[in-house]
Structure formats: structure tokens, C-alpha cells
Amino acid sequence: MPELAEIIEVVLLQNYNTRLVVLSTTLLGVAAGLIGSFLLLRKRSLMGDALSHATLPGVAIAFAIMVTLGGTGKSLPGLLLGATISGVAGLFTMLLIRNTTRLRDDVAMGFVLSVFFGIGVASLQMVQSLPGASAAGLESFIYGKTASMVQSDFLLIAVVAGIASLVSILFLKEFLLLCFDDAYAAAQGWPTFFLDVLLLGLVTAVTVIGLQAVGLILIIAFLITPATAARFWTQRLLPMMLLSAAIGGVSGWLGASISALTPNLPAGAVIVLVAASLFLLSMLFAPPRGVIPRLFRQYRLRRKVDRQHFLRAAYEILEEEQGQGDVSNTPFPRPALQSKRSWSVRELRSILKIAKREDHLEPAGPGMLRLSESGFGEAARVTRNHRLWETYLIYYADIAPSHVDRDADLVEHILGPELVHELEEFLEKESVTTPVPPSPHPVS
């Protein structure tokens, strides 16, 4: 375990090399989060993966050219330039396949990913045999090697990440239209091909500058994971972009910091694991779309549905005993509930237990049930809302009376006060006075 002094040194960025790595990965995470949001909405999550693999041939070819010209071949700007050219070639190959054939995007991406990566692996093996050349270290572009970063690398990442983030913000409206309806954008005269190329160009730029930090294999996680995690928290684009950028930045900062405290852990892999952990937390606990809040909402809805079914069944039993006129709250036999709903004995016992806990039932004689005062009022309200829907569906949705109870049952549980009021006003305006047909449930 690292000592407290080491943790403070990393957190406060006192070490020069740590400061370069943490700041570089943080800026890269912010840019990747912003650009990745558009990729996710564009349904091109694997585009970054294809482009990252397409950069490998450029690295090998650039190394060979620099060695042929008399250099060492290890100049990072030259290698990144080669990676950029190769990535752009992969990008235009995908666009060419998509726009000139009937093949879909996933086919084009799979083709570019496999073919370009194969060329890159073969090229790396070939440059090993160049006379006077040492290709050792080129494999770091596959897995990333943040420990070798210098100030020029940080400046390059900062400039490219800043430009990419600025362009994505300036073209926010255009990218939004492109992501959600590119056909409509084209019909309105927007240059959709140019916007598509610009977006993919930003992806290529972020991918290239991320090769040194996380490598071409793991950069796809840095592009997609923050955006996917942010998607669980909101359904609006701008908050999603900001949250995605924040998650990407935190992933880069925290992952690089953990890697600095544990030298045996590669920074690229740790960054991706931190991003994946944030994604997992978002998937489980995000209130709008998380798994656990959704299960809780479903549980509450099931309880609400069971409660309303029970109250309506009890009210209909009282109607059958007393007639359709004024209904008073009197005890009714418990077995009568079985004929109203297809509840098992266990389900009915659970529903009655919850009804007593929610003060909808009060003690009655053996084998008898009686609604409380609040339960009887709620039962009357639930039954009335159900029959409002029955009336509307029969006369204005052309639903057969024998099926209307089932159809009304599908929507009545989400009725709010405002919707009930609108429904009442509509029926009153249409002068609907025909009595509602009786419930199709069998009478005990």
C-alpha cells in the first residue's frame, strides 16, 4: 500500500512526470467524453475502434520512412502524423464503402478494423528487419505507455483536445441534427456529408492523441464508456455531453493517479477500469435509467396496481350486494375477492397484508373484510376513474364493451389528477350520459 506522503504527492501533482501524465489523461478524457457523446447518439460506437486500429499501419510506415531518411524513426510527431494519415485513409475507406455500396456501417467498420490492423501488424514485423533501425517500443502504441510522456506530448494533447472540444461545442446544433435525423438535415439543405466527415475527423484526432496514453486497443473504451455512463443520468444532449466530459476527465485523472501510486499497473488499463467502474455505478444507481431505481419503480407500480385492483374489486362487490345506486361501506366476504381476480391464495394474502399496513382495511368478523374510511374513499375514486376510461374507450376509441375493462385496465394506473380532469371535461363537453356497462368480471 502506498504511504500517505506518496498519496499527497500524487494528489497535489508535486512530481513533474506525474503532473504531465495526470493532466494529459484528464484533458484527453474530457475531449473523448464530448466527442464520444456524438458517436453514441450517431449509433457508431465502433467507429472509434475501427479508426484506432486503422492508425497502426501509419505508425509502422512513418517509422520506416524516417529511418530511410536517416533518422532514428522514434520521433513522436512523425509517428503521430503517420497514424493520422492512416486513420484518415481508414475513415475515407469506410465512407467509400458506405456511400457506394449497399453494405451497412457495421460491415464497413469491421472491414477497416480487421484489414488495417492486419496490415499494421505485418508492417511492424517488416520494419524490425530494416538495417540500422530499432523498432523496439513501437508496440506501446497498441497498449499505451503514459510513463514515457514528456512536455511536448502534453502540449500536443492539450492543443488537439482543446480544439476538438471547441469544434464540438461550436457545431453542437449541427451535430445534434445529424445524430437524430440526418435525412431531415439533408432535406433542409445542411451539408450532412461535410458534418459527418468533420465529426469523424474529430474522432480521428482524439484517437491519434490517445495512442500514447491508452493505446489503440483501449481508446475505444475512453471514447464510448463516459458517454454511455452519462446516458444513464439524463436524456438531454447538453447535460449528457457535460457529464460525459466530466466522467472522462475523472477517469483519466483517477486512473493515472492510481497507476502512479502502483507502478506495476499500466495507466491505460487502469483508466479504462475506472471508466468502467463509473459506468457500472451509473448503470446500477442513476435515478432516471439505472437498474436499481427502475426495479424500485416497477415494484412501486406493481404495488399500486395490486392496491387499485383490490380496492376496485372490493367496491364492485359492494355494488353487486347493494345495487348500482348509493353504495355504503359494509363488510363483505373474503372469498368474493377470489372470483374478481385470478389471485392465488398467497398473492391475496400478501395484498391484504399490504392493504392493512396502508390503512385500507379495518377489522371485521371471521371470513369477512371491511374497507376503512380512507380505503372506501380511495376505492370509489379508483372505480370512478376506471369507468371514465371505459366510457371514453367505448364511445371514442371504438372498443367493444366486452373488452373495454381489459383495455381500461392497461392505462388507468398511470392516471394523474390533471388527466382525470381533462377526461371529465371532455366527456361533459360531448354530453356523454349513457351509463357505463357493468364490469365483465364474473359475479360470485
Is residue 413's pLDDT more than 70?
no
Evaluate whether 4-289 and 294-429 have a shared fold: no
Asked whether the predicted pLDDT for residue 136 surpasses 80, the reply is no
Candidates 87, 58, 46, 10; CA nearest to 267 is 10
Kindly report the average pLDDT of the chain as a whole number: 82
Give yes or no for residue 109 having a pLDDT over 90: no
Return the CATH architecture of domain 4-289.
Answer: Orthogonal Bundle (1.10)
**Residue of 349, 426, 413 whose CA lies nearest to 381:** 413
Neighbours of 59 (CB within 10 A): 29
Q: Which residues pair with 362 in a beta bridge?
A: 370
Share of the chain above pLDDT 90, in %: 16
**pLDDT at site 405:** 65
CB contact at 8 A, 51 and 207:
yes
d(CA 193, CA 179): 12
* pTM of the shown model: 0.78
Please answer whether residues 124 and 134 qualify as being in contact, where contact means their C-beta atoms are separated by less than 8 angstroms: no
CB–CB of 37/232 below 8 Å?
A: no
Length reported for the chain: 444
* 207: nearest Cα among 136, 72, 112: 112
Query: pLDDT, tens digit, for every residue of 51-87?
Result: 888 888 888 888 888 878 876 666 777 888 888 899 8
pLDDT(167) > 90: yes
Spatial separation of the C-alpha atoms in residues 290 and 298, rounded to whole Å: 12
Higher pLDDT, 68 or 372: 372
Q: Which CATH class is domain 294-429?
A: mainly alpha
Would you list the domain boundaries of the chain? 4-289, 294-429
Assigned C-alpha cell, 28 = 484527453
Which of 41-55, 254-268, 420-434 is predicted with the least confidence, judged by mean pLDDT?
Answer: 420-434
